[in-house]
Amino acid sequence: MNLIAATVALCFAGAAFAGTPGSNNGQTSKMTGKAAASYSDAVFGDVTCNETQHPKFDTVSCAFASPRLDIAGQAGTVGWYSDFNNSKLGTMTYAVNIDGSGYTGQANY
């Protein structure tokens, strides 16, 4: 088991990586700047997210459809498929808001 999978297994027993290869994390449109997209993420559940592309990383900011008090305040790392660069696989380091309303992260490729 690689480090990413081990981290996910510890934080979210039975959960898959965030997003799915080739499916742009399940969203229905590209996520850039303020163009938030809603989708069901494999790790975090139903979310509305913005993903902004930078030269070597993406920033991600998501709101949960309903508060996730079970993971409020937690931080971690999950695999992440970019919504840019043909769904390039990377690693996102994230922090869930203290109130469980959503999370922010940085995906590196």
Model pTM?
0.68
* 34-70 burial code (b ≥16 CB/10 A, e <16): eebbebebbbbeebbbbbbbeeebbebbbbbeeebee
The whole-number pLDDT of residue 18 equals 55
Burial class (CB in 10 A: 0-12, 13-18, 19+), 22: exposed
CA–CA dist 95, 86 (Å, integer): 25
The whole-number pLDDT of residue 36 equals 65
The low-confidence residues of the chain, meaning pLDDT below 70, are 1-36, 83, 85-87
The whole-number pLDDT of residue 94 equals 96
